[in-house]
């Protein structure tokens, strides 16, 4: 189905003027009846058609016997029928020129064998009819904006959103996670517009829903759980569009391990062939790729408050010197810097702080703040005024008592009117926090986190996202006419002990050109890790990535810049010549005076396609 038809199908799905439910039954707990209840709850005013083989009416509404008895062109047909009847029903929908078909039933490609055949037939029919398919093996879609409806058999909340304040859009191949994401974000006082369970994605895919949400001004940020991105080039294009629109995308994508990839096949028939390429290229495109469910929720929450965050690292205020050391260790482990205070701010903090606790980041308020709570009033505005500081994490020791509430409110008042992101947490961890304080924090635009570690981790993602947005486009690397000769000229070494690297540039069948770099020679067995990089990085950015490799100390005293210049040229060559399938430099030699290639192997796409 062409892209324009997909866009039209999603638009009709999200705001249907007509809905048909096939397989409706009045028995309690049946999907069809639940959907009718959900539609009644939101006051759906469009045309609602019911199909039942053995009833003439359900809940006082008339039924027809077959899909062929329905009017042509219904926006969404919801199939509440067993998988064995789905293909025939989809064929009937195609005859009636329906807009979309929503399939709840499981038992298709994810079970293999006949299920794969049936799902392929569904795709064939709907492509020919230019008809959208949601699922199969999904829990449906919910649009909580005006004109939208909950097309799900789960218990849909009656909560609607006006769109007057920013909303989060959700796309998840897992129906359970789609519901969890929606419920948690709403419980944190934020609005969710779209919650889409996409299932096996036999027709409409993640990229179709993402495209739609990017066009909706009510959506500020988008959270995705994907077990496979089925159209990588389009996803990267949409990620670039999201970046231009300042609409952040935060994504959780399993598949790093082989056993996880096997699980995805049996869950939603998702096959991630090159997880590392996905990770490298989506991050390069500005997508915030997280590793845990809680991280997706935490980062999505922060991005709803702060869609254009600063690039500088945070300041941390805590009521414990012990936590100061723990925070420094944790910040280094997750790759976020806690900047030193600027000289001017440092001098202003000195008279505020006790003599035994000179100011540094994190700022330890010590027990002195219990006696002198005005320390918060004086110090926190200074932290926010520091040009080296991008955000502020508040980690006081709070409790459920009146004292804890009053203390939290005082800390909040000290940061009133902040123009930088501020986050509150409770250093007492499970010690409890007054619920009214959490509500007050969120009302003031200060997210509240359950633990300092989660808050720091989310801030790290936020800061890395900001730096990705600020990063200029990679400088164009020149491609000489005789580019292979430019790679192989061995005239730049001769400076002591040589380090061997193995560098590959490959045209991945799904993700396109990528680079892979690792150690060669005697170090290859000792340090087998490699790094996958986008092909458009310049030499400086490549050097930064290589310095994160285990064994990066081997680059000390060697001309890494010269090696990275060759690697950047290699990426440019692969992007410039569409007939090349892969290039391998084995080895790329680097020493104190330069770098050189002694062996280059080139494989064309035509050669790669031979049996």
pLDDT digits (tens, 9 = 90+) for 208-233: 999 999 999 999 999 999 999 999 99
- Residue 396: pLDDT band (50, 70, 90) is very high
Contacts 24+ apart (CB under 8 A), 260-267: 264/227, 264/228, 265/110, 266/110, 266/111, 267/110, 267/173, 267/174, 267/227
Residue-range domains of the chain with CATH: 3-305 (3.40.50.261), 314-455+462-470 (3.40.50.261), 483-608 (3.30.470.20)
Residues 404/398, Cβ–Cβ less than 8 Å: yes
Residue 490 in this model has a pLDDT that exceeds 60: no
- Residue 491: pLDDT band (50, 70, 90) is very low
288: left (phi over 0), alpha (psi -120 to 50) or beta: beta
Task: Report CA 453 to chain centroid distance, whole Å.
Answer: 20
Residues 83/108, Cβ–Cβ less than 8 Å: yes
- Residue 476: pLDDT band (50, 70, 90) is low
> 352: how many CB neighbours lie within 10 A of its CB?
18
Give the mean pLDDT of 532-557.
Answer: 92
Six-digit token string for 535: 């092909």
In the chain the first and final C-alpha atoms are separated, in Å, by 31
Residue 485 pLDDT: 59
Task: Provide the β-strand partners of residue 389.
Answer: none
Give the mean pLDDT of 271-295.
Answer: 93
Residue 489 in this model has a pLDDT that exceeds 60: no
Residue 256 pLDDT: 80
DSSP line for 73-138: T-SEEEE-S-GGGHHHHHHHHHHTT-SEEEE----SGGG-THHHHHHHHHHHHHHHHT-EEE-SS-
| 555 secondary structure, DSSP code | G
Give the mean pLDDT of 284-289.
Answer: 95
Residue 431 pLDDT: 62
| 353 secondary structure, DSSP code | S
Residue 517 in this model has a pLDDT that exceeds 60: yes
Residue 445 pLDDT: 95
Residue 154 pLDDT: 80
Give the mean pLDDT of 70-90.
Answer: 98
Residue 362, preceding peptide bond in cis (omega within 30° of 0): yes
Residue 162 pLDDT: 92
- Residue 3: pLDDT band (50, 70, 90) is low
- Residue 428: pLDDT band (50, 70, 90) is confident
Q: CA angle, corner 256, sides to 255 and 260, nearest 5?
A: 45
pLDDT digits (tens, 9 = 90+) for 288-340: 999 999 999 999 999 999 988 999 999 999 998 899 999 999 999 998 999 99
Residue 257 pLDDT: 83
Q: What percent of the chain has pLDDT over 70?
A: 94
Q: Phi, psi (5° rounding) for residue 175?
A: -65, -40
Burial of 506-516, coded b for 16+ CB within 10 Å and e otherwise, reads: bbbebbbbbbb
SS3 522: coil
Lowest mean pLDDT among 91-100, 264-273, 309-318: 264-273
pLDDT digits (tens, 9 = 90+) for 560-569: 999 999 999 9
Give the mean pLDDT of 588-601.
Answer: 90
Residue 486 pLDDT: 57
Six-digit token string for 49: 């058609």
Q: CA angle, corner 512, sides to 510 and 517, nearest 5?
A: 115
Give the mean pLDDT of 75-88.
Answer: 97
- Residue 1: pLDDT band (50, 70, 90) is very low
Task: Provide the β-strand partners of residue 172.
Answer: 197, 225
Separation of alpha carbons 500 and 515, rounded Å: 17
Average pLDDT, rounded, for the chain: 91
Residue 488 pLDDT: 56
pLDDT digits (tens, 9 = 90+) for 147-166: 999 999 887 665 789 989 99
Residue 481 pLDDT: 61
pLDDT digits (tens, 9 = 90+) for 170-193: 999 999 999 999 999 999 999 999
């Amino acid at each position: 189905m062409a892209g324009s038809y997909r866009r039209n199908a999603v638009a009709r799905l999200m705001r249907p003027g007509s809905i048909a439910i096939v397989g409706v039954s009045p028995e309690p707990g049946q999907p069809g009846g639940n959907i009718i209840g959900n539609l009644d709850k939101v006051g759906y005013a469009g045309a609602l058609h019911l199909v039942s083989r053995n009833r003439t009416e359900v809940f006082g509404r008339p039924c027809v016997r077959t899909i062929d008895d329905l009017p042509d062109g219904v926006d969404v047909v919801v199939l509440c029928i067993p998988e064995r009847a789905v293909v025939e029903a989809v064929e009937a929908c195609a005859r009636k020129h329906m807009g979309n078909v929503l399939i709840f039933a499981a038992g298709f490609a994810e079970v293999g064998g006949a299920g794969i055949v049936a799902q392929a037939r569904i795709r064939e029919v709907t492509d020919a009819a230019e008809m959208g398919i949601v699922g199969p093996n999904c829990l449906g879609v919910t649009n909580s904006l005006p004109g939208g409806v909950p097309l799900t058999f789960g218990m849909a909340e009656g909560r609607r959103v006006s769109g007057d304040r920013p909303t989060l859009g959700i796309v998840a191949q897992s129906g359970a996670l789609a519901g969890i994401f929606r419920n948690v974000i709403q419980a944190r006082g934020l609005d969710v517009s779209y919650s889409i369970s996409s299932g096996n994605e036999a027709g409409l895919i993640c990229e179709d829903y993402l495209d739609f949400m990017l066009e909706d001004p009510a959506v500020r940020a988008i959270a995705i759980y994907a077990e496979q991105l089925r159209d990588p080039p389009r996803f990267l294009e949409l990620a670039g569009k999201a970046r231009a629109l300042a609409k952040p995308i935060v994504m959780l994508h399993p598949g790093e391990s082989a056993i996880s990839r096997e699980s995805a096949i049996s869950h939603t028939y998702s096959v991630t062939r090159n997880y590392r390429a996905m990770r490298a290229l989506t991050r390069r495109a500005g997508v915030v790729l997280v590793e845990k469910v809680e991280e997706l929720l935490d980062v999505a929450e922060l991005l709803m408050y702060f869609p254009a965050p600063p690039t500088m690292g945070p300041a941390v205020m805590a009521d414990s010197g012990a936590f100061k050391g723990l925070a420094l260790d944790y910040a280094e482990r997750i790759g976020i810097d806690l900047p030193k205070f600027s000289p001017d701010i440092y001098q202003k903090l000195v008279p505020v702080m006790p003599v035994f606790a000179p100011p540094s980041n994190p700022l330890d308020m010590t027990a002195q703040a219990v006696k002198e709570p005005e320390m918060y009033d004086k110090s926190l505005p200074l932290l926010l005024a520091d040009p080296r500081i991008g955000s502020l994490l508040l980690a006081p020791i709070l409790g459920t008592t009146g004292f804890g509430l009053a203390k939290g409110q005082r800390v909040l008042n000290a940061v009133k009117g902040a123009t930088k992101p501020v986050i509150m947490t409770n250093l007492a961890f499970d010690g409890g926090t007054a619920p009214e304080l959490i509500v007050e924090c969120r009302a003031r635009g200060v997210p509240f986190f359950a633990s300092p570690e989660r808050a720091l981790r989310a801030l790290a993602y936020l800061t890395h996202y900001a730096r990705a947005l600020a990063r200029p486009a990679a400088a164009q690397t020149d491609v000489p006419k005789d580019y292979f000769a430019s790679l192989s000229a061995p005239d730049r070494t001769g400076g002591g002990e040589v380090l061997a690297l193995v560098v590959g540039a490959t045209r991945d069948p799904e993700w396109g050109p990528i680079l892979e770099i690792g150690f060669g020679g005697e170090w290859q067995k000792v340090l087998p890790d490699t790094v996958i990089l986008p092909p458009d990085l310049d030499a400086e950015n490549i050097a930064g990535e290589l310095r994160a490799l285990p064994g990066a100390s081997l680059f000390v005293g060697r001309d890494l810049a010269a090696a990275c210049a060759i690697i950047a040229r290699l990426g440019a060559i692969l992007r410039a010549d569409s007939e090349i399938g892969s290039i391998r430099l084995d080895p790329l030699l680097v020493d104190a005076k330069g770098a050189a290639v002694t062996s280059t192997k080139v494989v064309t796409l035509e050669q790669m396609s031979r049996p």
